[in-house]
Structure 1
Amino acid sequence: MSAICGGREGARRTTSVVIQSRASWRAVQRVGKHVTRLAPTAITSDELTDWLIETALRYVGKLILVPALPSLPLPLPFTLPQPLAYVISNSPHLQLRPEKPGCPLVALRAVR
């Protein structure tokens, strides 16, 4: 840790910045020295859900199983309550790829 953040002071500052970032996303609430996790925000917009899935795909760099999308730690302060296969099938940026029955993969659509 000290190689990444420096000594104790560097690690303390880095931790503080990460917690502040999470607080600005309303994922946590900071009261004094106590930090509590807040309830995740449900994303009901197809466009925003599409964007979050695309972001996750670009971050991971490989195909993702559709049933695994809600459990990924990437879209942390959000939940995806919509039927994801439906959102993906209507997306201009994403495509479904059949892997095995009941477990399709999501991929970025090829740019033409």
Structure 2
Amino acid sequence: MIQSAPQIGFDRYIQLDWMAMAIKVRAGLATLDDLETLLDSAGLGKEAKSKTRTKLNALAIEPRNELVAFIDRGVEIFSPQDDCAMTAVFAWGSAIASYPYFGKVAEFSGRLTAIQGDCSVSEIHRRMSEVYGDREVTKRATQAVIQTQANWGAIERVENGKRLNRPPQRKVSDEKVIRWLVEAALRFMGKAMPVTSLPTMAVIYPFQIDQSLPYVLSKSDNIELRAEGPSNQFAALRS
């Protein structure tokens, strides 16, 4: 049997201010007309605006059924703050939980920049082609995710966009934000993870968790801690 390439899903450039407006729409602090006006001001054509709205719907405004409670918890946490840094955390968590493709690009970006602080864009394209197929749509989608990550402040594009630099990580100290971000990472991974590995997971590479995770996660209603052996503790989504 010939296996088809995994579905891509995320193939649009999404600006952080669009995400901020989408959060406000979901929270009832803005209207869809406000979002339309913002997208119009960006000069998007009819087709591009429609496709962008589809992504914003999935990320914040009309999430998939299994993500509604997760997204709503995020909106409750982030909408009152109206801060670019906090919007970036929501955008990242929502994207990796909603779109495995975004998460996979993030994971490769995190791994490849972990040692020296930078990597070539071509290396990310090669890794993604190995997973999703060496197709033009894969190249376009990967480029869209990279451009989006750069707009969200996770990476910096240098050498005419051919290389990526990793800026200093953003510290995340708020317990509610940490629990939500870890939940997003667990949703992307789809399995229980060692608690000790969570702070350095490549998929959340832009952020530095600045709290003791066992203590913070022990207060979560959505993540459970499991002891496996005398010194191994795993975190998993509650079923």
Short-chain TM bin:
0.7 to 0.9
SS at match of 1:105: strand
Q: Establish whether residue 22 from structure 1 lines up as the match of residue 149 from structure 2.
A: yes
- Provide the aligned C-alpha RMSD in A: 2.3
Kept in 2, the 8 Å contact 1:66–1:105? The answer is yes
Q: Establish whether residue 98 from structure 1 lines up as the match of residue 227 from structure 2.
A: yes
State the TM-score, normalizing by the size of structure 2.
0.40
Q: Which has the higher strand share?
A: 1
- Counterpart residue identity of residue 84, structure 1: L
Structure 1 unaligned segments of length 5 or more: list them: none
Matched-pair identity in %: 35
- Counterpart residue identity of residue 229, structure 2: K
1:84 to 199, 202, 213: 213
Worse overlay, 98-107 or 79-88: 98-107
Kept in 2, the 8 Å contact 1:49–1:80? The answer is yes
Alignment partner, residue 49 of structure 1: 178
Q: Which runs of 4+ in 1 moved over 4 A?
A: none
Shift in Å, 1:101: 2.0
Please give the alpha-carbon distance, in whole angstroms, between the structure 1 residues aligned to 2:223 and 2:176: 12
Shift in Å, 1:105: 0.8
SS at match of 1:90: coil
Alignment partner, residue 61 of structure 1: 190
- Counterpart residue identity of residue 107, structure 1: A
Kept in 2, the 8 Å contact 1:5–1:14? The answer is no
- Work out the number of aligned pairs and report it: 107
Kept in 2, the 8 Å contact 1:50–1:91? The answer is yes
Kept in 2, the 8 Å contact 1:25–1:77? The answer is no
1:27-59 CA deviation, whole Å, 9 max, x = no partner? 112356153211111111111111111111111
- Counterpart residue identity of residue 6, structure 1: E
Q: Which has the higher helix share?
A: 2
State the TM-score, normalizing by the size of structure 1.
0.80
Please give the alpha-carbon distance, in whole angstroms, between the structure 1 residues aligned to 2:146 and 2:225: 35
Shift in Å, 1:20: 1.2
Shift in Å, 1:14: 3.9
Please give the alpha-carbon distance, in whole angstroms, between the structure 2 residues aligned to 1:37 and 1:53: 21
Structure 2 unaligned segments of length 5 or more: list them: 1-128
- Counterpart residue identity of residue 5, structure 1: R
SS at match of 1:38: coil
